[in-house]
Amino acid sequence: MKKYILAAFVLLSGLYIYAPYRAAGKYRDAVNAGDTAALNTLVDYTELRKNLRERMTQSIPNDNRASATAKILGNAFADAMLNELVSPDSIGKLLAIGKLVNGTEPQKIESLTWAGITKVRVQLSHDKSGLIFQLTNSGWKLIDREMGFSQGQ
């Protein structure tokens, strides 16, 4: 009986470790193929917009009335922009822009590093940002994008 429990533990551990690599590979393949339907299954748009919004507005100081007004306007601008750009409807346009900027050479996974028990950072070739995938109820999903990411982080 102990052998079966150990075998099940080893199998589940292997699947847990392999799953984010598979999700990152599916993401890379969808980007390379321009497959927006596949990308939509790999992105948690609500969480992605929330994390990008926080990053966009965190540099606005909040120490006086003018700063508080700038923060409110900055949040409204960030919300409007992210709702337009980070959605299933706009993903095809963003892929086309990416092809124009990066060329048609296929993306490759440059690195995948664990950032916690349920998070990994992925860097694709031709991309200086890190993609953050997190384990959710429905599998590994893209939830954030870190600009200026490098393998040493």
Domains of the chain: 2-146 (3.10.450)
Which two tokens mark 67?
Answer: 């700063």
Which pLDDT tens digit goes with each residue over 132-141?
999 999 899 9
DSSP lists the bridge partners of residue 136 as 139
**Block residue for tokens 């984010």:** 20
Lowest mean pLDDT among 4-8, 100-104, 134-138, 142-146: 100-104
Q: Which residues contact 47 (CB under 8 A, 6 or more apart)?
A: 134, 141, 143, 144
Residue 24 binned pLDDT confidence (cut-offs 50, 70, 90) = very high
Which two tokens mark 124?
Answer: 């694709």
Identify which of 84, 127, 96 has the alpha carbon closest to the alpha carbon of residue 109: 127
* 152 pLDDT above the threshold of 50: no
61 φ, ψ (degrees, to nearest 5): -65, 160
Give 27's DSSP letter: H
CB–CB of 114/35 below 8 Å?
no
Identify which of 51, 147, 40, 125 has the alpha carbon closest to the alpha carbon of residue 90: 40
Mean pLDDT for the chain? 82
